[in-house]
Amino acid sequence: MDVHIETTPIKDVLVVSHQVFEDSRGFFMEVFREDLFKEAGLPDRFVQLNHSRSGRNVLRGLHFQWDPPMGKLMRVSLGTAFLVAVDIRKGSPTLGQWFGTEISAENKKQLWAPAGFARGFCVLSDYAEIQYLCTGTYNQHAESGIAWNDPQIDIKWPVNDPQTSEKDNTAQSLAEWLKTPESDNFKF
């Protein structure tokens, strides 16, 4: 088995590809393997697996958690989505910068963003199912979000008029987040 790592303009955000075995019956791939992840410098311990399904033009994010700090390895198991990671770490040379990429069930890639990044996605196909392995368990008292349309970040979402939740529509700006005491949990 093989794991291939693609670097991105943001040093700690990575695109992960795997060796895929395909034939007339379908395909097989290892989504996670502890020894290969450790060898590649990726996290080798995940404590939670989340799975969501959304329709075309649904946009979710930008979400993060500081206690416990949560990194996410995101993949699309059905359909196509644009996955995004935004650096929200105080003092980081890439603070406020984002990386986005189209991930699909066909290309079988994954996006890794460690703790200190807000993550989100928008659906480009009729439906998409996104799964993410998390390095921390969910804590509703230590999670938050950054506005998906924060002009300081200026993400170029590939959808017009996205469907969003009230929670995501009222999320704070990056500038507001950086003024909170919780933001000190993500110092570079």
The residues annotated with a catalytic role in the active site are: 63, 132
Least Cα distance to 50 among 69, 28, 77, 27 occurs for 77
Angle formed at CA 155 by CA 62 and CA 143, multiple of 5 degrees: 10
Residues in the chain: 188
